[in-house]
Structure 1
Amino acid sequence: MALKDGNEASTYIIQSQEEEIKRIALELHEGISQNLYSLYTGLGFLETGIEDPHMRSYAKEMATLMERTIQEVRLLSVELYPNTLTTLGLISALKSYSKLYTSTFGILVNFESTGDEKVMSERKSMAVFRVCQEALINIAKYADATNVTIRFTWEEKLVKIQIEDYGKGFDVIEVMKRNHFTGIAAMKERMVLAGGKCHVTSELANGTTVSISLPIQREGEF
């Protein structure tokens, strides 16, 4: 009973956090991002009217910096909450995120999907998205990889996902002992709370694989 109560409490905390994260993401997308874009277009207009070549060059540099900042804010907004998740589905949301991820980190993300994509509850879809997101961020930070493959296998009652990088790999047991890779524990916990499983395997010089399996249930169920 205590374990069940603990899981329910963790689920409630995560759900509350997601609601607040969603609010912040929408403010970034609809407020700050739009304001930055207005400033960017204004800088471009001012640049055309500057005669001094040095000042024109400086204005161009500022516009380039503003453009990069807009890209970073958009990535942050999608990282916080992918608004395409509920409208277009899990794979579309991950593909949208991956485009920004590639433009930011230079790591190419390849998608493979077998079977027909099934409709899952928003909480289950968000759990998968967060685990994939954590895996991709870890790859950017630690793997020294140039490309990643995300492979979906849709079954009647189960979805399986593999995230494979071709980077330098690591000793999973040693890293877990040192407690450096808290992201692994977070990924596993999210999947357990969603009713699924997450397993991480890695080999030095041969890359890392994150394997996820999650039962598919009717909309409205966790």
Structure 2
Amino acid sequence: MSYKQAKWLILIIPTLTIGLWEYVRHAYLLPYISMDLGNWLSPVIVFFITMTFLVKLFSIMEGIQEELKKERAVKAALEERERIARELHDGIAQSLFLLAVKVEQMERANECLKKENGHPFQEIKKTVHQVNEYVRQAIANLRYPANASVLPWMESMQNLTREFQEETGINIMLEWFLPEKILTVKEKIELYSSIREGLINIRKHARAKNVWIISKEEDRGWLIMVRDDGKGFDGDPFSYKNRFGLQIMRRRALEMNWELQLQREKNHTILLIRKRRKVNKEIDVGNSSNME
């Protein structure tokens, strides 16, 4: 029922009720009900109809108002995030691009200094490009909904994989077997961010041709796997000082009590995110005592 329909029913029902009652009273009930009794019954009937029907209609109107407030709040948040992203793009991102151009000009103008000091401009260029990537990543994050409930979960995941494939040309396969109902809204948001961060790392560092995103429910929790056939890594990737995305993923996993692993297996890099449900120890103790 729409807001307009509920409003008109609230206005019309009391009028129709009292009109119908007066007609029935005067047409059929005058021999049986006195005028005084009929006058007393009129407000009682209106009150009964009001409590029976109008309270439900008021509840519907309040629910519609709450939904409108939420939609306005989400819209305002998205507009603000878009404004911040636009300011970042027009300000910091453009300044970083100009800085990179000036570094290249200095490099060309100081070939001798570059050779003597062990490629100092290469390090500056690398740092500028990294910061530029982080800023652009922040801009991309701002342009995604802050709340996973804005879009249906699977629609969000399909949009993410489709955009990744269109932007990178990397073939990506989504095999999602995890029921949406077992994830909280907070888990959906953090999982979406973690998977997106994993795809960003693949695009930036892996030189992969294929990516698989697989999810499944386990006996005591669930498992998310992001696999790629890229070049992999050396040592512990979480110890790399310039891999801020991995550090953010690890911090996010710790806050959510998830297990986070990054490993190589058969020339594939595998990112694992696993949640294990807590086991009720009291029940286990009771069962073991019964077995004895």
Q: What range is the shorter-chain TM-score in?
A: 0.5 to 0.7
Distance 2:77 2:203 in 1: 22
Query: Does structure 1 residue 210 correspond to structure 2 residue 271?
Result: yes
Counterpart-to-counterpart distance in 2, 1:167 and 1:21: 37
Give distance in 1, aligned partners of 2:229 and 2:223.
20
- Contact in 2 for aligned 1:79/1:97 (Cα 8 Å): no
Cα shift at 1:120: 2.5
Q: Return the match for 2:229 from 143, 146, 166.
A: 166
Partner of 2:144: 81
Q: Where does residue 191 of structure 2 map in the other structure?
A: 128
Instruction: Specify the code of the residue in structure 1 equivalent to 2:272.
Output: S
What SS does structure 2 have at the residue aligned with 1:179?
A: coil
**1:99-133: per-residue Cα shift (whole Å, max 9, x none)?**
11111111122011235332433221111111101
Q: Could you tell me whether the CA contact under 8 Å between 2:178 and 2:222 is conserved in 1?
A: no
SS across alignment from 1:138? helix
Q: TM-score, normalised by structure 1?
A: 0.57
C-alpha distance in structure 1 between counterparts of 2:84 and 2:169, whole Å? 23
**5+ long unaligned stretches in structure 2:** 1-75, 88-135, 279-292
Q: Show the counterpart of 1:104.
A: 167
The yes-or-no answer on 1:191 pairing with 2:263 is no
Amino acid of the residue matched to residue 228 of structure 2? D
Alpha-carbon distance between aligned partners in 1 of 2:188 and 2:82, rounded to the nearest angstrom: 19
Deviations 1:142-164 (A, max 9, x none): 10012210001024762210000
SS at match of 2:180: coil
**Partners of 1:150 and 1:212 in 2: CA distance:** 11
Counterparts of 1:207 and 1:201, CA distance in 2: 8
Do 1:143 and 1:167's aligned partners in 2 also have CA atoms closer than 8 Å?
yes
Identity fraction in percent: 22
CA-CA distance at 1:177 after TM superposition: 4.0
**Equivalent residue for 1:182?**
244
* Deviations 1:44-93 (CA, angstroms, capped at 9, x unpaired): xxxxxxxxxxxxxxxxxxxxxxxxxxxxx9xx656642478315543331
SS at 2:181's partner residue? Answer: coil
The structure with the greater share of residues assigned to helix is 2
Query: For 2:158, what is the secondary structure of its paired residue?
Result: helix
State the SS of the aligned residue for 1:118.
helix
Aligned partner letter, 1:125: K
Query: Superposition pairs for residues 65-76 of structure 1, below 5 Å?
Result: none
CA 1:147–1:82 in structure 2 vs 1: closer, same or farther (change >3 Å)?
farther
Give 1:206's aligned amino acid.
N
Count of residues paired in the alignment = 154
The separation in 2 between residues aligned to 1:101 and 1:152, in whole angstroms, is 18
Shift of the 105–79 alpha-carbon distance from structure 1 to 2, 3 Å rule, reads: farther
Cα gap change, 1:86 to 1:123, in 2 (>3 Å): same
